Amino acid sequence: MRLIVSDSPHLKANYDTSWMMRQVIYALIPTGVASLYFFRFRAGFIILNCVVTSMITEEIVMRIRKRPSTIKDGSALLTGLLLAFILPPSVKWYAVSLGAVFAILVGKHLFGGLGNNIFNPALVGRVFLVATYPKTMTTWIEPFSLQAVTEATPLALRKFDHILTPVSNLFLGNSSGCVGETSAILLILGGFYLLIRKVVDWRIPLSIIITVSLISSIFYVINPLNGSVSFHLFSGGLMLGTFFMATDPVTTPISKKGRFVFGLGCGILIMVIRYFSGLPEGVMYSILFMNACVPLIDRIFRPKSLGAIGVMISKRRKK
Amino acid sequence: MIHIEERKLPQHNIPIVTFFHPKKLYLHLSQHTGRSSKLVVNKGDLLEEASLIAERDGLISASLSSPVKGYFKDIVSFNHPSLKRGLAVVIEREESPNKIYSFNKKALFLKRDALLDKIQKAGIVGMGGAAFPTHVKLNPPKEIDTLIVNGCECEPYLSCDYRLMVEKSEEIFKGVEIICRIISPKRVLFALEENKLEAIKKFNSMISTKRIPLPNPKVIILSSRYPTGGEKQLIYVLTKRIVPLGGLPFDVGCLVHNVGTIFAIYEAVYYNKPLVERVVTFAGGALREPKNILLKLGTTIRELFDGGILSFKKEPLKIIYGGPMMGITLKGLDYPVMKGTTGILFLTKEEIDIREESVCIRCARCVDNCPMGLLPLEFVKKVKQKEYIYLNDLYIKDCIECGVCSFSCPAKIPLVHYIKIGKKYAVNR
């Protein structure tokens, strides 16, 4: 009889890291299909390019670092997929590859690999591309147009031309924007799948949505041209950012209270950028900024140990 | 707090069987928290059943009586689940009918000190696993207003407490009445998990008949979440009182006793029977027939297999002493049953998780689920970086090692393992 000797506990939950990654990828499938429908082969090429480049980069980096291969855990695939979803459909293939390499190499591995990165790698990749190719990264095309008819995004139309895109277009995805962020309904569907399967925590999405709704409703009352609540919720990268970027466990606070604060901060920053800055959209910068605040949030909102609370209570009673 | 698959069937619904005929007994002198017992008999003596073998040494210690009539053969170093090796008394049983304990008519009129003395002499310790001497617990320096009867049994597989509650509910109530005479609480709460239907029914009918007078008795049904049965969690769930760091339940006016312990108290007071036997759950996928067995302390697991009481269906990959969440793995079958043994589990490859540890992704499931509100992932980080001086600032001593963090970790990090290392090295700054 050969027996294993180990420390307790001897039972473990049946999910693991790669299961979690897979669930997020499944949740993104409807959006991916929709992007193929709206932007045709352009979307297909970008997604394929991103995913393959990310996975190859991951494998090479892990070989250089002399660590076991982590291709199977799905984290590189997920980063690639998310990066593809936040790129404009007209972006050139070399820019896409470069962004994917940067996301994995700098965004993830320079910080120490999975679990140690401070910033969301996909967003790091996009920030790099925005800085490197400012023109192509802000050129948008109409859905279904194969000749690349340029058109401003709904948020840019609101900001610079005071034209409000109908919410139904935003909801279904028939508007210009990044590859995977135009269809709000499918992103919400994916987000709910993740919440139901308990892959992501509900606190961050909820607090972002509540914050954005509150702020935008105040501004809508002041001037309807500022855009309604549903316009702000369903436009730009808000739904993708809320359900898939801001919920990335690695780059978010560990305490429940901290997660509420994280969502609150994201929501406020998004609306501040949308209303008061020179940029039409601010989901990416908001999440990255809040990522940087995570150590601070973790420190301030550290959960209290039950025993320490007990000590506090008994001291108070003595007084 | 988390929900874990219970896996309590079929042993949950099978009546307790007895096994009183071991050939050889190995009685450890250290079966409890505190100092080892001091031997009072000599090698070669013929020991009567229930005669004293070793007495308590100091306040936090417990005495030990002979479970059978037999010869004191030797004192050897024998396998011990938590100490690895420990001194054990070897007794060879004489073939003779089991002792019949006679009812003690005076039991109803005994006063506090006499009762405490009886419990101390019987060598009763907490039978839920921790094995803390009961006479110490029953003599708290502060007033107790709430007595909690712990019938949660929240660990998967285990069902010895449930069977005891179903089959000996009247005895348990009489035991509770004895404790009430000692500490005179204002109320008695019976805490049971919702999956213990039969026991809930029995306890409720016992309360409604009022045959055994108790101060404000009440059955409280808890949802079956792990670790509700932990002392501090139970107190918090039932009374919303929080035991301070480094404190004990009496600091908040509570006393928690396991139903097994209460049954032992009943037997000690009404029948002058020392703690010489207990119910142990034998379960797991490797066994042909999982059972709850009432057996003599010191019986080795091997004897149960040799005697045909238990048999293997499959090869076990882990043998666990205790529950699957907090139990200790054994290296073989040559381990004796002790006072704090709740179960021995034989788990197959399909039942345990042997996936390898990967990197922490900070998902914070360990933080969200920790019943003590700690930061398990930070403990692991500090232990891995050998920064032991920060551990006490994170209240590592508050950890009850329930295993919820390791259970819920998607990266399969054995957090409890790191925490145990951390506790050894943690120093005050």
CB-closest option in B245, B360, B411 to A308:
B245
User: CATH number, domain at A78?
Assistant: 1.10.3430
What is the rounded CA–CA span in Å between residue A120 and residue B96?
74
Among A174, A184, A177, smallest CA distance to A209 is for A184
Residue A228 domain-assigned (yes or no):
yes
Q: How confident is the model at residue A207 (pLDDT cuts 50, 70, 90)?
A: very high
Interface probe with B: pick from A5, A7, A18, most Cβ of B within 10 Å: A7
Contact present, B396 and B381 (Cβ < 8 Å): no
Note the pLDDT tens digit of each residue in A236-276: 889 999 999 999 999 999 999 999 999 999 999 999 999 99
Q: How far apart are CA B30 and CA B131, in angstroms?
A: 10
CB A75 within 8 A of CB A30: no
The pTM assigned to this predicted structure is: 0.90
Residues of A with Cβ-Cβ distance to B363 under 8 angstroms:
20, 249
- A205 near A263, Cβ under 8 Å? yes
Q: Are B31 and B125 in contact (CB under 8 A)?
A: yes
Query: Domains in chain A: how many in total?
Result: 1
Contact present, A212 and A232 (Cβ < 8 Å): yes
Contact B54, B86 (CB under 8 A): no
- Count of other CB atoms within 10 angstroms of residue A157: 18
Domain that holds residue A98: 17-300
Write the DSSP symbol of residue A255.
S
Give the chain A residue whose CA is nearest to the CA of B249: A310
CB A13 within 8 A of CB B355: no
Mean pLDDT across B115-123: 91
Answer whether residue A146 shows pLDDT above 70.
Answer: no
pLDDT of residue B94: 87
Q: How many CB pairs under 8 A join A and B?
A: 168
Other CB atoms within 10 Å distance of the CB of residue B17: 14
User: Is A105 a member of any domain?
Assistant: yes
CA pair distance B235, B238, nearest whole angstrom: 5
Residues 175-234 of B with CB under 8 A from A: 232
pLDDT in tens, B367-396: 999 999 999 999 999 999 998 988 888 889
List pLDDT tens digits, range B313-354: 989 999 999 999 999 999 989 999 999 999 999 999 888 888
Amino acid A280: pLDDT: 86
- 3-state DSSP assignment of residue A52: helix
Among B residues 249-268, those touching chain A with beta carbons less than 8 Å apart: 251-252
Residue A25 CB partners (closer than 8 Å, separation 6+): A74, A77, A78, A81
Question: Is pLDDT above 90 for A219?
Answer: yes
Nearest-angstrom CA–CA distance, B167 and B150: 16
The H-or-E segment that residue B394 falls in is none
- Average confidence score pLDDT of chain B: 90
Pairwise CB contact (< 8 Å): A11 & B324? yes
Predicted ipTM? 0.88
Distances (CA, A) of B112 to B109, B143, B269, B300: 10, 14, 12, 36
* Distance of alpha carbon A41 from alpha carbon A49, whole angstroms: 12
The answer to whether A151 contacts chain B (CB < 8 Å) is no
Per-residue pLDDT at A149: 66
Q: Residue A112: left (phi > 0), alpha (psi -120 to 50), or beta?
A: left
Residue A312 lies in a domain: no
CA distance B317 to B331: 10
Nearby residues of B209 by Cβ (< 8 Å), 6 or more positions away: none
Spell out the residues 6+ positions from residue B272 whose beta carbon is closer than 8 angstroms to its own: B50, B101, B102, B104, B118
A309 vs B409: CB contact, 8 Å cut-off? no
Asked if residue A6 belongs to a domain, the reply is no
Cis peptide before B10 (omega within 30 of 0): yes
Residue A228 to residues A23, A172, A283, B53, Cα–Cα distance (Å): 32, 17, 17, 83
User: How do strand B46-47 and strand B38-39 relate by DSSP bridges?
Assistant: unpaired
pLDDT of B408: 94
Q: Which domains does chain B have, with CATH numbers?
A: 105-271 (3.40.50.11540), 365-425 (no CATH)
- Read off the pLDDT of residues B194-226 as tens digits, 9 standing for 90 and up: 999 999 999 999 999 888 888 899 999 998 888
Evaluate whether residue A313 is within a structural domain: no
Across the interface, whether the CB atoms of A16 and B252 are under 8 A apart is answered no
Q: Tell me the pLDDT tens digit for each residue of B28-76.
A: 999 888 888 898 998 888 888 889 999 988 888 999 999 999 999 899 9
